[in-house]
Every structure is written in structure tokens, then in C-alpha cells.
Amino acid sequence: MIHKTRWRLTLLYSSIIALTLLIMAGVFYLSLVQILKRHETTELKELAGQWMSYLSEEGFSESEKKREPFFSKGHEEHGEDNDSDEKRKPNEFLYSDRFFLLFDQQGTLIAHSLTDAKMAEWLQAELARWPDEDLHKVKRLFRQPENEEEQVYALMALPLSGEHLSREHEHEHDHEYVSQFSLQGRLFVGNEVTDYWFFIQRMRNMLLILALGLLFVAAIIGFLFSERAMIPILNAYRKQQSFLADASHELRTPISILQSSVEILDEIKPQIPDFHQRVLDDMADEVARMGRMVQDLLVLARSDAGQLELLKETFDFAETCRSVTERMNNIARKKGVQLTCHTPEQPVWMHGDRERLSQLLYILLDNAIKYTPEGGRVNVTLSHANGGLECVVQDTGIGIPDTDLPHIFERFYRVDKDRSRKLGGTGIGLSIADWIVKAHGGRIKVTSQVGKGTAFHIRLPSNRR
């Protein structure tokens, strides 16, 4: 229980710390991406505004579009002087990573500022598929030239619609662009953002590696926090163990005296009135119940302190099952419950503590008989299973609700407290049964259905020597 509590605290603290650190890293990454996107958008809008102003000043019209194009076609096909071309370009397009492409209404490329013919051809094919709903939006295109690294471009499309081109309002800059020409089509402005893109990719990878490191750090911090949180819990648990051990030892003597006194009075039972006889019987039952409870508490206290050792020997577990069942038969018959035992005819050898395993069967059979109504059945079945032993104690009793099944092996846990108290239950027996099974390296599980009965399945290694 203590180890489970610590691991739960470790998981809780680690999850909180890790979640906090991951949220901080995620916010940082998303903020960085948004800043770069805003920078791209602002830059492209400024470029678009400059080119719109430039085209308006040039007065390029529908009737003039067959004349010499502005840039790259003029560079190579018409042999224009580069110096004269650069004088015609806005200053922003003196940078090689910025460009524009101008299309008419039929999608024909009229002019562009690219000097790379292959890139112009690739962009013309890509931009032909640009949907109308993405106008005024920034999109990224990826290009993989032969024998070169991948290139990334950010582009924005703006419509040219007669007299009115567009109107953009920014917080820092207010631009108003009005066309002085009648050309209709689309203007694409772009910027190479390969460095930005790979910076974001590297930053993402670094944050992923950092996140793994943060998870490891969070696990260590959570473990240390849980260790500190467990200090008062451990102190309280040790005090509880000490109290149980001391109380069990101190109560054994007065209970033994009471039991001896009841036995002495029982010798003169026929000589006392009926009412006194009933009181004496009740007293004997209560003293016996208190004696069992003190003995159970002492077993738990010694097991917690590691002072309870198993006295292992090799014995026939089938014979032990039959012997315990026979002894419990008298109790079952008094209640009107049919108790049966099914074991193999051949000896079933087991290396373990005969007394503790007998106690395990007594606890399970006592519970089964108590909670099985008159006319019900309790059955013990022993068999070989996967190199070990399987013992099943099944009854047709009242059953256990599903919500209570995970807690029935906890100390002092009782499904129906009033019924358990009337039947003499203390809520300790199944805790001892669980300890006995685990001390022998086995497993115990329970299945139950309300109104139909309960079955305890015990798996034990035979460990024959």
C-alpha cells in the first residue's frame, strides 16, 4: 500500500510538472511561429503595395500587354541592359529572394521579376492552381531543385480588378493603392523563406528533444516531491503498526483471563437460570470473537514488521483441503449450507506453510458460509494449473457489488457493516488471506455477482522439494 501510494504521488507530481513545462515549451514554439508568420505577411503586403504603386505609375494596361514585358522576358529575349532594368525595379526587388509574377484574366503570365527560367516555369504551373478563396492569404510552396536543397517560398495573391486593386490597413502602416490602369488579373508577390522554415524545423526538433529531457526531469522532481510527501505518511503508518502490535499484545492477557472465566462458568451452566445461560453464551461468543480479532491483528502487525516467517514443508495440499472442509462442515450444517470438497485422488504436493495455508482455507470457508443463506452451497475445488495449483472456493451467497470488489482485501473494509458486525466479521480476514497467498508467491482474485454468489480463485506455485 505504501509503495502504491508513493508511485501514485510520483505520477501525480510528475504529470503536473511535465504538463506545465510542456505547455510553456508549446506556447514558446507557437508564439515564435506566429511572429515569423506575421513578419512574412507584413513583408509580402509591403512588397505588394510597392508593386501596385509601381504598376500604376507605369500605366500598364490591357491594350499594352503585348509590349515588351517588364523584366525577365526583357532580360533574355530582348537583350536589355541589366543596369537599365534595375533602375526600373523598385528597391525592394533588388534583393534576389523577392519576386513578383503578373497574370492576366486568362491566366497568361505577362511579366515577372525572376531570372531563373526553371523557377518561373515551376511557379507558373503551381500558381495556376491557386484557388480564389486563398486570395490575400499567405501560402508556402516547396521546391526541390536537382542536386540542391529544398527551397521554401511564401507567396500572396492579389486580384487586379479594373480601377480598384486593393486597400490594406495595418496597425503600423496604412497603405492605399488605387490602379491607374485597366488591366484585370492577378499579381503574385513572393519571398524565399527557406532559412525561416528550416529555423522553425530545427527549433521544433530542439523543443522535442527538450521535451523528452523535461519529462525525465519532471519524473525525478516528482519522485523527490513524493518522497518528501511520504515522510508524514510513513511516520503515521509506523505509529499505527506499533499501536496494533502493542494493543494486540496487551489485549491477549485480559482476553485469555475472560475466556478462562467463561469456561469455568460454563461448568455450572445447568445450575443457573435460563436468562443467565443466554447471557453466558453471548459472553462466550463475544470473547471468542475478540480473541480471533486480537490474533488477526497480531498476525498483521508481525507481517508488517517482517517478523512473521513461513515455516515451509512439503505436504499434501489435497489432504489439507479435505481436513479443513470436514472441520467446517459442522458450522455449515448448523446453518443449513451444503459444503463439498473436490480434490484429485492422487496427492497434490505443496511446499509451503501448512498452518498458514490451512488458515487461508478457514478464512475463505468461514466467509462463504456466513454470507450464504440457508439451502445454499459452498464448494472447494483443487486442481493442477500451469505447473502450479489452483484452489477455488465458490458459494451461492449474496454476492459482492462491483464497486466493492477492488476494496475487499483492504484492512477493516466491510461491504455491509451492519451485516458483518452481526455475523462477527472484523474486516481483517481477507487482508490476512491476501498476505498468505502473496507470501507463498501466489495470486488471489475474486469474481462475484450480486444475488448469485462469489468465487475466490487462488493460484499457488507447487515448489515441490
pLDDT of residue 59: 53
Using the 8-state DSSP alphabet, how is residue 455 labeled?
Answer: E
pTM of the model: 0.50
Which residues fall within 8 angstroms of residue 286, CB to CB, at 6 or more apart? Answer: none
Distance CA 153, CA 150 (A): 10
Q: SS3 letters for 371-425?
A: CCCCCCEEEEEEEEECCEEEEEEEECCCCCCCCCHHHCCCCCCCCCHHHHHHCCC
* CATH 3.30.930.10 for the 312-461 domain, yes or no: no
Give the three-class secondary structure for 142: strand
Distance from the first to the final alpha carbon of the chain? 32
Domain ranges of the chain: 2-201, 225-304, 312-461
DSSP-assigned letters across all residues of 1-66:
-HHHHHHHHHHHHHHHHHHHHHHHHHHHHHHHHHHHHHHHHHHHHHHHHHHHHHHHHHT--GGGTT
Q: Split the chain (465 residues) into runs of 10 and give each run's mean pLDDT.
A: 74 83 86 85 82 65 43 40 46 62 82 82 85 84 81 85 44 40 74 84 86 83 80 75 67 77 83 84 79 73 69 90 90 90 90 90 90 92 86 92 86 64 66 88 91 92 67
Contact 446, 368 (CB under 8 A): no
What is the strand order of the sheet 109-112 is part of?
A: 109-112, 98-104, 185-192, 151-160, 138-143
Distance CA 298, CA 295 (A): 5
Give residue 221's identity as a one-letter amino acid code.
I
Angle between helices 429-439 and 354-370 (to 10 degrees): 140
pLDDT of residue 177: 37
Query: Checking DSSP bridges between strand 338-342 and strand 377-385, what pairing results, if any?
Result: parallel
Q: SS3 letters for 282-351?
A: HHHHHHHHHHHHHHHHHHHHHHHCCCCCCCEEEEEHHHHHHHHHHHHHHHHHHHCCEEEEECCCCCCEEE
* CATH number of this structure's domain 225-304: 1.10.287.130
Q: Exposure of 406 by Cβ count < 10 A (0-12 exposed, 13-18 middle, 19+ buried)?
A: exposed
Distance CA 420, CA 218 (A): 45
Angle between helices 429-439 and 274-304 (to 10 degrees): 40
pLDDT of residue 62: 46
Identify the helix (H) or strand (E) that includes residue 158: strand 151-160
